[in-house]
Amino acid sequence: MFYATLEGLRRFKIPHKFEFVSIISLYAQWIREGRLNVDSSWNSDGLKFTVQDPCKLVRQGLGDAVAEDLRYVIKKVAGEENFIDVWPRLSNNYCCGGGGGALQAGFVENRRKYGKLKFDQLAATGADVVITPCHNCHTQVLDICDFYGGKWKTTHLWNWLEKALIIDGSAGRAGKD
Contacts of 33 (CB under 8 A, 6+ apart): none
Read off the pTM. 0.88
What distance separates the 2 farthest-apart alpha carbons in the chain?
Answer: 50
Q: How far apart are CA 25 and CA 22, in angstroms?
A: 5
Does residue 54 have a cis peptide bond before it, meaning omega lies within 30 degrees of 0? no
pLDDT at 55: 85
Q: How far apart are CA 43 and CA 33, in angstroms?
A: 23
pLDDT at 174: 45
SS3 174: coil
Q: How far apart are CA 29 and CA 10, in angstroms?
A: 24
pLDDT at 172: 55
pLDDT at 4: 81
* 3-class SS shares of the chain: helix, strand, coil, % to 5: 55, 10, 40
- One digit per residue, the tens of pLDDT, for the chain of length 177 reads 777 888 888 889 998 888 888 999 999 999 999 999 999 999 999 999 999 999 888 988 889 999 999 999 999 999 999 999 999 999 999 999 888 777 888 889 999 999 999 999 999 999 999 999 988 899 999 999 999 999 999 999 999 999 999 987 665 554 444
pLDDT at 171: 56
- DSSP assignment, residue 106? S
Q: Residue 49: name the closest of 28, 30, 73, 24 by CA.
A: 73
